[in-house]
Chain A
Amino acid sequence: MPHHPSRGGAAPSKRGRRMGRVFIEGNEAIARGAMRAGCSFFASYPITPASSILRYMLQMIPEAGGTVLQAEDEIASMGFCIGASMAGRRVLTSTSGPGLSLYSENIGLAITGETPMVIVDIQRQGPATGSATKGAEGDIQFARWGTSGGLPIIALSPATISEAYELTYRAFNFAEQYRTPVLLLANKELGVTMETFDEEAVDLPPLVERRRVAPDAPEYLPHLFSSPEEVPAISDFGGPHIARFTTSTHDPTAYLTTNPAAIQEMIDHYAAKIDHAADDLALVREDLQEGADTLIVSYGVTSRSAAAAVTEARSRGKRISSLVLQTLWPVPQAAIRKAMSGVRKIVVPEMNMGQYRIEIERLAPPDVEVVGVMKMNTLLVSPREILEKGNLL
């Protein structure tokens, strides 16, 4: 068999990087971000409004010598990606809410196998089939708690086309650095809205590669850590070592174990590696105003309405702060607590029935009022609705 022209873990590359302004949809920016991040394997099942990512990946990945497969279903998408990631590829899959439901069990597998992978969810109105072509943010808590075991994952949420690109790239870095699935929670309102985009204007951190076991190491223990938060070095299937992977409870050797102490140690490790990295993972945009009595906490496309609402409120002489969360999971608690400091009211606009508001309520001091602006009728939350329901006029 001939060797595939490209393996995963490619060196930092500017391939596909484009100078100047283009007019593209969010899904294309996501695909470009993935390519910029060295994605070399993509598998996905068609679903509105995420389908076009498959098309863009098919256009771009041949140049990078990568692989694209339209899977028979969402379960197979995840299976292909998990296999390919453990063989060293940088992998991406994309879906929407109904497909994310089918990803659920394999997300657990990626957590327990410590598999780096990026999962894009272009959210649409649910539940169930809902409105396939309409926007929503209904998968926020589902992303966090969507697999058996309830262990932490990482989830980022882009608001703009630049963030669609940037956060996809960063999602790959986080996935590789922390050996974990990373979800990108976008919205139909971003995914299939065309916007002016300038790739050159986006600042990106250096590409992060998964830490690999030295080729001359005598053996490979797939889940070896010296302290719970340490991310184990990996050795790819087909690489210099014998590799193992298991869905069962296991010890560092990836052999099945039923020893409660060994099981607890591994569970503590999965939690600790994410919790310990909370500061590194906390991406937020702050627009804090001295002496503000109100704070708007938002994420995703709704944060763009929040930005317009803040501009309007300030023009009316209100003192108001805004915190936009690019990282939703783990909860960027330090940034939220800092932004809350001194305010009397927090407004949380969302295209769901208040899924992230409960995180804010959990962190808010008892004398601070938390007001949800909840909308789940397929339409964007408007700046006016934030101003009115937040009583900011």
Chain B
Amino acid sequence: MSHRALATYMTDKVGPLPFCPGCGHTVLIKALDKALVKLAPDPKQVVIVTDIGCIGLADRHFITNAFHGLHGRSITYACGLKLARPELSVITLMGDGACGIGGTHLLNVARRNIGITLLVANNLNYGMTGGQHSVTTPTGGMTSTTPWGNIERPMDLCGTAVAAGAAWVHRATSFDGNLPDILATAIGQPGFAMVEVWELCTAHYVPRNKFGKKDLIALRQSFGFEHGPLVDRMRPEYTEWHREAFERGRGQAPPPPTIETCYSNRVSRKTGIVIAGSAGQKIRSTATAFAKAAMYTGLNATQKDDYPITVLTGFSVSELILSPETIEYTAIESPDYVILLSADGVKRVRAKIGQLAASCTIYADAALELPETEARVVRLPLEAVSKVTTATAALAAMLTHTELFPHEALEKAFRVFRSPSIAEQNLKAMAEGTALIDMTRQAGSTGGAE
């Protein structure tokens, strides 16, 4: 971080620090300047990120980069800057108010250990908006919004950060003579480092509570909030960890194969297929294989799935459209083929079944009870087929029956897109399904509606 030595990192170009006489912010900001002088970084490699509140007026008084963001969110911008350029030294200044509205960001930056420095100017109330109580206002404290004394317990900010896993945490006051050294040590940490600085708000909290330095110290002790270094533990810094993890992730997800046309088809118009079954029947993945098979024959395809949020239970329905043309409207109002594989599936599409046209063919597990329908029904005795391949068997039966495209296309889809063992399982089911339709044909039951 070394750079030509600077006597100060502050500028008077925008005037003197604007804080009230006796305000702890002035002490903190001057201590930060001294810490920077001690560390001597290139100002271009330092970003001071500020939150909303009086402390948010500070960033422009520095010659470093400055980022002044929304209330409670300064940690998020700091993390974005750090993640994008890990070499930057990112120092965030926020008040106790921001710890309330943006508490989740405090928890999560501590937990992740992103290598930013967080300086919390805790003056026990909202100064900028008129002395309202904050999450750190002491119990009994008088503020503009606690006219009978604060009835809430103050939040232990440092303890919260420690509990969330922070690597380096220190509680100080603006009266600590070694504050610049504490800040310099914090900024020098590789991981997340937090310094909470207890301060007097001379505009609001001091006059309302007849409050001074001694009271501040005593108050801290009365709540059992420890002073000084609270934790200093080695943890992997996040941006470094992220870099290593993502380097390991390279090449882990090669793009899947493309689908070239290598078979022909007999699909001359937009054709809708609804496959309805249950979780565990591999409805969706089998539908996807079928769509890819259709693409091997030069067709276009769409697929939509319908299933409960709790994916391992209940119905599972896939809707496929196959077409030699571009597919515009992707809903199926009048399916050409409906595959029914479980009672859950029948229940989910029951209303559709009742409206099916006579030109539609249903391929249904022989064991299922079906509602009344105009459609032609082909019964498939699927009880001998393994549950995870019933959809494959039924689709193979449908392919054999309709000759929409050759079986080889579906075999190829399984071979190319599935592991060898899963592909073999599905190829076996295709043979089973084909045998079922042949058997059903011999029994003469494919000729019309039941």
B-contacting residues of A (Cβ < 8 Å)? 1-5, 7-8, 16, 18-23, 41, 43, 48, 58-63, 65-69, 71-73, 75-76, 78-89, 105-106, 109, 132-133, 189, 192-196, 237-248, 254-256, 301, 304-305, 307-308, 379-380, 382-384
> By the criterion CB–CB under 8 Å, are A237 and B69 in contact?
no
**B105 is an interface residue with CB less than 8 A from chain A:** yes
> By the criterion CB–CB under 8 Å, are A81 and B80 in contact?
yes
Known: A83-B79, A304-B328. A238 touches B44 (CB 8 A): yes
Contacts of B288 in A (CB 8 A): 23, 194
> By the criterion CB–CB under 8 Å, are B328 and A79 in contact?
no
**Interchain CA distance A20-B45 in the complex, whole Å:** 45
Contact of B87 among A60, A193, A238, A243 (CB under 8 A): A238
Nearest first, the 3 A-B pairs at minimum CB distance are A83-B80, A79-B76, A20-B258
> By the criterion CB–CB under 8 Å, are B329 and A87 in contact?
no
Contacts of B68 in A (CB 8 A): 245-248
The residue in A1, A88, A255 that gathers the most chain B C-beta atoms within 10 A of its C-beta is A1
> By the criterion CB–CB under 8 Å, are B243 and A4 in contact?
yes
Using a CB-CB cutoff of 8 Å, which residues 65-122 of chain B contact chain A? 65-70, 73, 75-88, 104-105, 107-108, 115
> By the criterion CB–CB under 8 Å, are B260 and A21 in contact?
yes
Closest chain A residue to B318, Cβ basis? A194
**Interchain CA distance A109-B80 in the complex, whole Å:** 14
**B253 is an interface residue with CB less than 8 A from chain A:** yes
Using a CB-CB cutoff of 8 Å, which residues 280-302 of chain B contact chain A? 288, 291-292, 295, 300-302
Known: A23-B292, A63-B250. A82 touches B84 (CB 8 A): no
Closest chain A residue to B45, Cβ basis? A238
Contacts of B163 in A (CB 8 A): none
The residue in B107, B243, B251, B258 that gathers the most chain A C-beta atoms within 10 A of its C-beta is B258
> By the criterion CB–CB under 8 Å, are B77 and A79 in contact?
yes
**Interchain CA distance A19-B257 in the complex, whole Å:** 10
Interface residues on B, range: 35 or more
Tell me the minimal C-beta distance from B323 to chain A in angstroms. 9
**Interchain CA distance A305-B329 in the complex, whole Å:** 5
Tell me the minimal C-beta distance from A158 to chain B in angstroms. 14
Contacts of B78 in A (CB 8 A): 83
Contacts of B80 in A (CB 8 A): 41, 43, 79-87
Contact of B249 among A23, A62, A71, A72 (CB under 8 A): A62
The residue in B65, B75, B79, B258 that gathers the most chain A C-beta atoms within 10 A of its C-beta is B65
> By the criterion CB–CB under 8 Å, are B301 and A196 in contact?
yes
Contact of A67 among B242, B258, B295 (CB under 8 A): B242
20 inter-chain pairs at a CB distance below 8 angstroms, sorted by A residue, are A1-B87, A4-B85, A5-B243, A18-B255, A20-B260, A76-B73, A79-B76, A79-B80, A85-B80, A106-B70, A193-B302, A193-B304, A195-B301, A195-B303, A196-B327, A238-B84, A238-B85, A242-B65, A382-B331, A383-B328
**B63 is an interface residue with CB less than 8 A from chain A:** yes
Contacts of A245 in B (CB 8 A): 66-69
**B384 is an interface residue with CB less than 8 A from chain A:** no
**Interchain CA distance A3-B85 in the complex, whole Å:** 7
**B60 is an interface residue with CB less than 8 A from chain A:** yes
Tell me the minimal C-beta distance from B38 to chain A in angstroms. 19
**Interchain CA distance A382-B84 in the complex, whole Å:** 45
**Interchain CA distance A86-B69 in the complex, whole Å:** 12
Contacts of B75 in A (CB 8 A): 79
**Interchain CA distance A301-B327 in the complex, whole Å:** 11
Contact of A88 among B65, B70, B85 (CB under 8 A): B85
Tell me the minimal C-beta distance from B272 to chain A in angstroms. 13
> By the criterion CB–CB under 8 Å, are A247 and B69 in contact?
yes
Contacts A18-B258, A82-B69, A196-B295 aside, 4 further interface pairs with beta carbons under 8 A come to A20-B258, A84-B80, A84-B84, A380-B330
Tell me the minimal C-beta distance from A136 to chain B in angstroms. 14
**Interchain CA distance A66-B245 in the complex, whole Å:** 12
Contact of B108 among A59, A76, A106 (CB under 8 A): A76
Contacts of B66 in A (CB 8 A): 243-246, 254
Tell me the minimal C-beta distance from B379 to chain A in angstroms. 30
Contacts of B260 in A (CB 8 A): 20-21
Tell me the minimal C-beta distance from A49 to chain B in angstroms. 11
